[in-house]
Structure 1
């Protein structure tokens, strides 16, 4: 029942945003009584904080699995960058984005979201370093990884307004070529 409530919360965050997500809608979507929902999550913030934790786990697992399936060798950088681009334009990212925006003006939500997002950021950085085979002790390498993550996050944000997958693919492919050259220079 708890998992159904969390999944319903994430779905509603994607569909309706934070302000359009209510505990009543969540319990209806999850197919549980309002009393059962209140037993697990007495307030909307309790529910959303639990959903943030659930999202954190989902996002990390999804990214790790996707990167783990990539072949080694030629074209790896492009494949990694594309996986990151897909990750940051997924519904899970959209739900997380809704929470970031809501947390900006809600101190209680911010207190829950900020540490989780820091953990997600560190883990995403670590996975990207591993996937690209980057030696961060080399000058400029860490910055290249972070620039890559900032780029895909920004493209994911832009994707929430308009789906421009072709443009995004061109940008990511171009960045992958630049990244390959720059990383080679740091090796």
Structure 2
């Protein structure tokens, strides 16, 4: 799976073939075909792997977050790092493929729903947000959508300075909205 992710990041969907992944993983073509007879099966397994890895990455990075007034900005920065990292880039390749490949779409759409719910839940938890308050659920979702968009903007150029400034401003708005 790591070879598949690395191939997606380096070569994109079009360049990620079962042969290339087998070579990168250091396994024979026969072994690869035994476990994943088709590209679709390999990619579907990769979708599941990437989903679990993305959630694990958020949980792992969350252990180093500060408490107190700097927490919101730190949570946003951590989420932005996830959305500018290699797992996010690999996921984007799969989203692109899912747009036109029904087999990949059938695997990606339900998994992304699970990842979306878990990302939202983790963000609520990390921010200490009270979703029973009006507008809080929407503010958390706006945050996740903003960060995903900033991750997309970072694909073509280094957008770090602009992203940091936007997230610092959004952290102030979010703190006010959440009542932090």
TM range (shorter): over 0.9
| Alignment partner of 2:105 out of 102, 105, 110 | 110
Q: Contact 2:130–2:178 (CA<8 Å) still a contact in 1?
A: no
Gaps of 5+ in 2: none
1:88-127 matches, cutoff 5 A: 88-127=83-122
- The corresponding residue for 1:3 is none
Gaps of 5+ in 1: 1-5
Helix, strand or coil at the partner of 2:13: coil
Partner Cα separation in structure 2 for residue 163 and residue 102 of structure 1: 24
| Alignment partner of 2:123 out of 128, 139, 149 | 128
Per-residue deviation, residues 13-45 of structure 1 (Å, max 9, x unmatched):
001111111011001100111011101100001
| Alignment partner of 1:46 out of 37, 41, 50 | 41
Partner Cα separation in structure 2 for residue 103 and residue 68 of structure 1: 33
* C-alpha deviation, 1:69, in angstroms: 2.0
Aligned residue-pair number: 180
Partner Cα separation in structure 1 for residue 130 and residue 169 of structure 2: 22
CA RMSD of aligned residues (A): 0.9
Give the structure-2-normalised TM-score: 0.98
Give 4+ residue runs of structure 1 displaced > 3 Å after superposition: none
| Alignment partner of 1:37 out of 32, 35, 52 | 32
Partner Cα separation in structure 2 for residue 118 and residue 85 of structure 1: 19
Matched, 1:138 2:146: no
* C-alpha deviation, 1:71, in angstroms: 1.8
Give the structure-1-normalised TM-score: 0.94
Per-residue deviation, residues 93-135 of structure 1 (Å, max 9, x unmatched):
0000110010011111100111110000000000000000111
- The corresponding residue for 1:55 is 50
